[in-house]
Structure 1
Amino acid sequence: MSFPPLPDDLVLPGEPVLAADFGSPEQWVAGRSWAYPGGGPINPRDNKLDHLVRDPAYSRSGVFRATRRRDGLWDTGLLTTEGSRQAFEVRSGDVLEARVRLPEETGAWPAIWTWRDGGQEIDVFEYHPDNPDLLELSNRVRGTHHYHRSPAVRPGGWVELRTRFGARSVVWWVDGAQVFADGRGVGRSWHAHLIVNLSVCAGRYHPAPDPETSEMSFEVSDLRVFRGG
């Protein structure tokens, strides 16, 4: 990835504490998350048409897919470190970096986010192609939210993401430029599992997929986490 050097006050070790291997069942669990009621497979209260599946073709390659079902739901790909043997958690001060290819289809709802014990959610990013140039960046632990617009953000385009989960401020970079520092942070004791998934909108807040759409996808590559100070 082409990120510029980090600020002088943020020194990271050379090796990541997590280099994502989405194909590894030791590192990632597919098709189940307690962020969904009962661990899934559906979450209609969150305006989602998701039906989580454990089929490795939906997530294990790093391409997260969704396909339309006959019952009106969508089979969707989700991976989480929660419940895996390694049980990796991001901690306060850590830095996550990832390269993401955004989806093109209306109704797609990709995200990289965190979750633990009913909360602790930080959204590294969320995206909806009906707002083609906009990324949503959120600290739901302490109630901050930011809309980042850029011509480089577009359906089918690649973006490079960096998030520092700071105790006093969560900071987001997009394509090498700092775009938001929330000044609230997560506190020193914060920790949470990672989730990467592709959801499908049900139409309440963002349009549902077009009737002729039967499949959608987005891709995540080079996801790494570094232990910060």
Structure 2
Amino acid sequence: MSRQGSALLEWLTRRLRPWPRPSVPAPGGPPPWSGPVCFTADFSSEEQWVAGRTWAYPGGGPTNPGDNKLDHLVPDAEYSRTGTFRATRRPDGNWNTGLLTTEESAEGFTVRTGDILETRVRLPTELGAWPAIWTWRDGGNEIDVFEYHPDNPDLLELSNHVRGGQRYYTHPSIRPGAWIDLRVEFRSRSVVWWVNGRRAYSDGRGVGRDWNASLIVNLSVCAGRYHPAPEPSATAMSYEVGFLRVHRPGF
């Protein structure tokens, strides 16, 4: 090829080469900045967390049959303090279960309007397991970061009990034993849930301007009314919380 032909080919190549495009976040991806961290969960800390009791259960616990739970809350560290929340069958038919709450703890941390909670959990595999992260104060103020039941293997329950709103969110990445990343924005006019980096639900209701509540992390056991109870041969179940932190813009 002549020098003139080579020059023409180079010119055409430059002209036809696509221009670089600016990077665009994937559809549904969360915003990259959440604000300063105001709370990082240390489940072993007795100043941050109270184990084995909560006023979300009648009389503070240890049982809650009215919610169709086989729970018998226990304060034992091996049921919750490692970040693995466990349940084991009792001779009376109930299950010893792990629960931690910031309610009435020495630090007394509460989430409030504008906060953003992020966590990573490993879902349980055992039938009857009922893991949840949620908020509670004075008989209400409940937002469910998530609830899960292995009999609905690809579904998370995302609920606003403060002003009403619920989504049964399904996705192939949700399955027994899977690690799931969750993010919840507690906005005054809308609570927004993200699951594995995708916007899963915005309820359009929110929590109001002056909302605040304690955190609860626990593993319950279903009694069979709404979801199957554990198999008769089952004696133990668990799920894991890899991390939990709360961001507070302006903190």
Please state which band the TM-score falls in when normalised by the shorter chain.
over 0.9
Kept in 1: contact 2:30–2:199 (CA 8 A): no
Q: Classify the secondary structure of the residue corresponding to 1:17.
A: strand
TM score, norm. by length of structure 2: 0.87
2:155 is equivalent to residue 134 of structure 1 = yes
Aligned counterparts of 2:232 and 2:30: Cα–Cα separation in 1 = 45
Q: 1:202 aligns with which of 223, 231, 247?
A: 223
Deviation at 1:201, TM superposition (A): 0.2
Deviation at 1:5, TM superposition (A): 5.3
Could you say which structure has the larger radius of gyration?
2
Which position in structure 1 is the counterpart of 2:193?
172
Deviation at 1:16, TM superposition (A): 1.0
Q: CA RMSD in A?
A: 1.3
Deviation at 1:12, TM superposition (A): 3.6
Which position in structure 2 is the counterpart of 1:57?
78
Aligned counterparts of 1:79 and 1:223: Cα–Cα separation in 2 = 13
Which position in structure 2 is the counterpart of 1:158?
179
Which position in structure 2 is the counterpart of 1:31?
52
Which position in structure 1 is the counterpart of 2:13?
none
Q: Which structure 1 residue ranges, 4+ long, deviate > 4 Å from structure 2?
A: none
Aligned counterparts of 1:12 and 1:173: Cα–Cα separation in 2 = 13
Kept in 1: contact 2:30–2:194 (CA 8 A): no
Deviation at 1:140, TM superposition (A): 0.4
2:117 is equivalent to residue 92 of structure 1 = no
Q: Classify the secondary structure of the residue corresponding to 1:45.
A: helix
Q: 2:128 aligns with which of 107, 118, 133?
A: 107
The residue type equivalent to 2:191 in the other structure is V
Q: 1:6 aligns with which of 31, 35, 39?
A: 31
Q: Classify the secondary structure of the residue corresponding to 2:37.
A: coil
Which position in structure 1 is the counterpart of 2:101?
80
Deviation at 1:25, TM superposition (A): 0.2
The residue type equivalent to 1:99 in the other structure is R
Which position in structure 2 is the counterpart of 1:71?
92
Deviation at 1:118, TM superposition (A): 0.2
Q: Classify the secondary structure of the residue corresponding to 2:78.
A: helix
Structure 1: tracts of 5 or more residues without a match: none
Deviation at 1:207, TM superposition (A): 0.4
Deviation at 1:128, TM superposition (A): 0.2
Q: Classify the secondary structure of the residue corresponding to 2:177.
A: coil
Aligned counterparts of 2:94 and 2:88: Cα–Cα separation in 1 = 9
TM score, norm. by length of structure 1: 0.95
1:11-65 deviation per Cα after TM superposition (whole angstroms, max 9, x unaligned): 643x411100000000000000000000000000000000000000000000000
Aligned counterparts of 1:181 and 1:166: Cα–Cα separation in 2 = 10
Structure 2: tracts of 5 or more residues without a match: 1-27
Aligned residues: 223
Deviation at 1:181, TM superposition (A): 0.2
